[in-house]
Amino acid sequence: MAEIRLENLTKDFGGLVAVADLNLVVDDGAFIALLGPSGCGKTTTMNMISGLETPTSGEIYFDDQPVSRVEPGRRNVGFVFQNYAIFTHMRVYDNLAFGLRVRKPRPEKAEIDGEVKRVAEIVGVSRILDRRAGRLSVNDMQKVALGRSMIVNPAIFLLDEPFSNLDAAFRAYMRAELKRIQSEVGQTMVYVTHDQVEAMSMADRIAVMNLGVLQQYGTPGEIYDAPENRFVAGFVGSTQMNFVPAALVPLGLRGGVNGRSLTVGIRPESIRIVDAGAPEATIGARVTLVEPLGAKDVVHLAFDEYDVRAIGTPGERPRIGENVGLALDPGRVHMFDDETGKVVR
Partner 1 sequence: MLQAWPKRIGRWLAILLLGGCFGFPLYWTLTMAFKPEDEWNPPGKVFWWPGHWTVSNFTNILGIQGETSIFATGRSKSALTPIEHSLIAAGLGTLLALAVGVFAAYGIARFRAGGRMLPFQILQLRMFPPIAIIIPLLFMWVYLGLWDTLQGLIILYAAVTFPFVVWLMRSFFQEVPREVSEAAIVDGCTQWGAFFKAVLPQAKGGLAATALFVFILNWSDFLIALVMTQDHAKTAPVYLQSLQSGASGQEYGNQAALAMILIMPPAIFGLAIQRYLVRGLTFGAIKR
Partner 2 sequence: MEAHTTELPVRQAPKRRLPDLGGRSEGAVSRLLIAPGQLLMLFIVAFPAAVAIYIGFTEWTPTSGDNVWGAYHYWHWFDGYWEALRSGGFWHSVWLTLLITVVCVGVEFLLGFLLALLFLKEFRGRGLLTLFFLLPMMVVPAVSGFIFFMLFQVDGPVNQGLTAILPGGVIHVHWLDDPSLAKWSVMTVDIWQWTPLMFLILLSGLVALPEDQMNQARILGASFWHQFRYLILPMMKPIILIALIIRAIETFKLFDSAFLLTGGGPGDATQTISVYLYRQVIINARWGYASAVAIIILIFVSAAGAFAVRPIEQAQEETLEGLVGGEEQVAAQRVEEAIAAEARI
CB of 122 to partner 2, least distance (A): 18
CB of 102 to partner 1, least distance (A): 17
Of 84-92, 222-230, 281-289, 322-330, the segment contacting partner 2 by CB under 8 A is 84-92
CB of 272 to partner 2, least distance (A): 25
Q: Which is nearer to partner 2, 94 or 204 (CB)?
A: 94
105 C-beta neighbours (distance < 10 Å), count: 5
Q: Are 61 and 5 in contact (CB under 8 A)?
A: yes
CB of 275 to partner 1, least distance (A): 58
Q: Which does 85 bind (CB under 5 to 8 A by kind): partner 1, partner 2, none?
A: partner 2
Q: Which does 54 bind (CB under 5 to 8 A by kind): partner 2, partner 1, none?
A: partner 1
Ranges of beta strands (E only) in the chain are 4-13, 16-26, 31-35, 57-62, 65-66, 77-80, 156-160, 188-193, 205-210, 213-218, 242-245, 262-266, 271-275, 283-292, 297-303, 306-312, 323-328, 334-337, 343-344
Q: Is 109 in the site for partner 2 (CB under 8 A)?
A: no
Q: Which does 87 bind (CB under 5 to 8 A by kind): partner 1, partner 2, none?
A: partner 2
How far apart, in whole angstroms, are the C-alpha atoms of residue 102 and residue 285?
66
Contact positions toward partner 1, by CB under 8 A? 54, 69, 71
Q: Is 86 in the site for partner 2 (CB under 8 A)?
A: yes
Q: Which is nearer to partner 2, 105 or 279 (CB)?
A: 105
Rg of the chain taking only CA atoms, in angstroms: 24
Instruction: Work out the burial of residue 135: count CB atoms within 10 Å of its CB; fewer than 13 is exposed, 13-18 middle, 19 or more buried.
Output: exposed
Q: Which is nearer to partner 1, 68 or 95 (CB)?
A: 68
Q: Is 88 in the site for partner 2 (CB under 8 A)?
A: yes
Q: Which is nearer to partner 1, 48 or 133 (CB)?
A: 48
Q: Is 51 in the site for partner 2 (CB under 8 A)?
A: yes
5 C-beta neighbours (distance < 10 Å), count: 19
Q: Give, as ranges, the residues between 135 and 164 that touch partner 2 (CB under 8 A).
A: 136-138, 141, 148-149, 152
How far apart, in whole angstroms, are the C-alpha atoms of residue 157 and residue 29?
10
Q: Which does 89 bind (CB under 5 to 8 A by kind): partner 2, partner 1, none?
A: partner 2
Q: Are 208 and 234 in contact (CB under 8 A)?
A: no
CB of 102 to partner 2, least distance (A): 4
62 C-beta neighbours (distance < 10 Å), count: 22
Q: By C-alpha distance, which of 8, 30, 6, 22 is closest to 219?
A: 30
Q: By C-alpha distance, which of 215, 196, 161, 159 is closest to 21?
A: 215
Q: Applying CB under 8 A, which residues contact partner 2?
A: 50-52, 71-75, 77-79, 81, 83-90, 98-99, 101-103, 134, 136-138, 141, 148-149, 152, 165-168, 293
